[in-house]
Structure 1
Amino acid sequence: MNENKIFLEGLSFFAFHGLHDEEAKLGQRFIIDLTCWADFEKATVSDDYEDTICYGTLAKTVEDVVTNSRFNLLERLAGAICDAVFAMDARISKITVKVNKPSAPVPVHTGGFGVEVTRARPTANS
């Protein structure tokens, strides 16, 4: 089986994740990068939409998790995104999701804090 990647970079959403009460009340911006491994080799020959994975559906899936849920930890948010993307399309075998919180409430100027999670699709034996 061939393994190819589809990636979405710099998806930006306003949401309410974080440990602090202010984060739940005020919200802030989150930047998401997503890479999905899948066998869509057939699309490289057929040029048929049905043979690939829709970028728009991937982006909407991420948006739904980020904007319709609330988590204390970025790690949990990243895990929830992985779960939702695996549920979206059975052809996806592995996912890397990077969650960046550019306005984290810390006393240091930074481009952001974040996490990166990589997961392989769970097998029936896992």
Structure 2
Amino acid sequence: MKLHHRSCIRLVNAVFYARHGVHEEERRLGGRYEVDAELFFDSTEAAAADDLLKTIDYGQAYTIISEVMIAGEPAALIETLAARAAARLIEELALAEKVTVKVRKRALPLGGLCDYAEAEHVIERH
């Protein structure tokens, strides 16, 4: 019987202050964004060897997300930010088989109460 191993590393609630948004005031003042990332891969070799070089380095994943959120081109939509981060992660982390990125924005200009808005983007290698 052939077994397929799949592991997941998660970065949960990474917080960034960035200048994104639809409205000019949001881009001028900036705001708090929260990001979750799930990176699925086969960690069998890494676990057997206890070797960082055979796994996904979550420090590198965090750096990639940070670059998208802080240093990257401003975006109007959180959907755009989630898609950009997911694309960079799957491109730059060769072991990643599937990536899910969620971007949350809490301070919403809605005129009413809402905890947050969240966009999710998933990319999977085939």
Task: Give TM-score scaled by structure 1 length.
Answer: 0.91
Correspondence 1:102 to 2:106: yes
Q: 2:88 aligns with which of 81, 84, 91?
A: 84
Contact 2:90 2:123 in 1 (8 A): no
Within 5 Å, which residues of 2 pair with 1:20-31? 20-31=23-34
Q: Separation in 1 of the partners of 2:52 and 2:95?
A: 14
SS at the partner of 1:31?
strand
The total of aligned residue pairs comes to: 122
- What is the deviation of 1:110? 2.1
Q: Separation in 2 of the partners of 1:8 and 1:38?
A: 14
Q: Separation in 2 of the partners of 1:20 and 1:89?
A: 33
The residue aligned with 2:17 is 14
Task: Give TM-score scaled by structure 2 length.
Answer: 0.91
Consecutive unaligned residues in structure 2, runs of 5 or more? none
1:8 partner amino acid = L
- What is the deviation of 1:93? 1.0
SS at the partner of 1:85?
helix
- What is the deviation of 1:76? 0.8
SS at the partner of 1:87?
helix
Q: 1:51 aligns with which of 50, 54, 70?
A: 54
Q: Which aligned runs of 4 or more in structure 1 are off by greater than 6 angstroms? A: none
CA deviations over 1:9-52 (Å, ceiling 9, x no partner): 01000001111000110000000000011112111111111111
SS at the partner of 1:92?
coil
Q: CA RMSD in A?
A: 1.1
Contact 2:37 2:101 in 1 (8 A): yes
Q: Separation in 2 of the partners of 1:42 and 1:90?
A: 14
Contact 2:6 2:41 in 1 (8 A): yes
What's the % identity of the aligned pairs? 30
